[in-house]
């Protein structure tokens, strides 16, 4: 259940899809002077060294963030995300944090052959966009990921971290003291039950904090587990609606392989649908999918 490590997949096409949407939502929250709160239920290790053997073993980032960065013309809506990624250098990136550098040997015996290339996970994307009075609440259950993340964010008073299950933790933590905000849920989906667990957790949280924006990422598989997810989200009485954005291969890949990336966004900010449409149509043809790419976007619940 706790076998998943995002370091093998960091910077892939799903991260590009998810994190470009995350930056747009955070930019919207920044438009008002009132503070905002972000709850990240499955935080991971915080940032990743794409030159490590862990990342090089799969090389998924080459068909994701690297493919995007090699393009000369990008949608306007992608620019804030790409600027943040290009400028990201971890402050706490020593050997003890498993970042790796050329010639270093990591804790698992990995030898790093290239200079480090860093990619921020959602905790550090959010942290870079926090203002003085904003707050980020992180949850991570995996022991190794939690310990790594704890070392990396220890110095920031705006950030809190709990070692707990993100599904139950979310419901327990809402509504937060700061009532403007975003919930990001990005589970590992190690088991198919995670689809329903994620939906139930967000539905329960929405009952208690109905004004927040909720963004759930999910993998699109040949097995079609996301169909039940869509059905459950159609029942959320969200005044701001529920938006679905997907980038996937129409076919291709082996059994169990991820075909694409999906986002379900409850109460999306104004014009996010237009921005994600531009991004999705562009990413479909730029990132490396396991087959011919398609982009799908629709309102599962229309905004009132």
Q: Which CATH number fits domain 6-301: 3.40.50.150, 2.40.50.140, 2.40.110.10, 3.40.50.880?
A: 3.40.50.150
- As annotated, the active-site residues are 186
| pLDDT (0 to 100) of residue 242 | 98
CB 209 within 8 A of CB 175: yes
Query: Using one digit for the tens of pLDDT, what is the confidence trace for 7-33?
Result: 778 899 999 999 999 999 999 999 999
Q: Where are the alpha helices (DSSP H) in the chain?
A: 13-29, 53-58, 65-69, 79-87, 122-129, 143-153, 166-173, 193-208, 226-233, 272-286
Give the C-alpha separation, 195 to 193, whole Å.
Answer: 5
Q: Is the model's pLDDT at 1 over the cut of 50?
A: no
Q: How confident is the model at residue 99 (pLDDT cuts 50, 70, 90)?
A: very low
Tell me which range, 51-60, 74-83, 247-256, is most confidently predicted by mean pLDDT: 74-83
What does the radius of gyration of the chain's CA atoms come to, in whole angstroms?
Answer: 18
3-state DSSP assignment of residue 61? helix
Mean pLDDT to the nearest integer, 230-253: 93
CA–CA distances in Å: residue 116 to residues 51, 69, 140: 5, 17, 25
Q: How confident is the model at residue 154 (pLDDT cuts 50, 70, 90)?
A: confident
| Token couple for 7 | 């370091």
């Amino acid at each position: 259940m706790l076998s998943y490590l995002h370091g093998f997949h960091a910077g892939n096409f799903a991260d590009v899809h998810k994190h470009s949407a995350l930056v747009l939502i955070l930019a919207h929250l920044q438009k008002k002077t009132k503070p905002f709160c972000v709850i990240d239920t499955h935080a991971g290790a915080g940032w990743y060294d794409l030159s490590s053997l862990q990342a090089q073993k799969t090389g998924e980032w080459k068909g994701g963030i690297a493919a995007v960065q090699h393009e000369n013309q990008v949608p306007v809506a992608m620019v804030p995300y790409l600027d943040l990624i290009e400028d990201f250098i971890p402050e706490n990136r020593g050997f003890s944090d498993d970042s790796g550098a050329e010639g270093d040997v990591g804790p698992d015996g990995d030898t790093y052959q290239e200079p480090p290339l860093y990619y921020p996970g959602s905790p550090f994307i959010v942290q870079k966009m926090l203002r003085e009075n904003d707050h980020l609440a992180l949850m991570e259950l995996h022991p190794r990921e939690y310990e790594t993340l704890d070392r990396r964010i220890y110095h920031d008073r705006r950030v809190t971290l709990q070692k707990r299950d993100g599904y139950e933790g979310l419901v327990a933590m809402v509504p937060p003291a700061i009532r403007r905000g975003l919930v990001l849920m990005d589970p590992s989906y190690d088991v198919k039950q995670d689809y329903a667990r994620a939906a139930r957790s967000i539905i329960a949280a929405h009952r208690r904090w109905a004004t927040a924006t909720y963004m759930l990422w999910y993998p699109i598989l040949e097995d079609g587990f996301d169909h039940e997810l869509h059905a459950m989200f159609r029942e959320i009485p969200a005044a701001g609606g529920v938006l679905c954005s997907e980038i996937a291969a129409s076919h291709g890949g082996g059994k169990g392989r991820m075909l694409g990336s999906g986002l379900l966004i409850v109460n999306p900010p104004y014009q996010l649908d237009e921005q994600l449409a531009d991004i999705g149509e562009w990413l479909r043809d730029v990132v490396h999918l396991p087959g011919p790419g398609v982009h799908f976007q629709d309102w599962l619940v229309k905004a009132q």
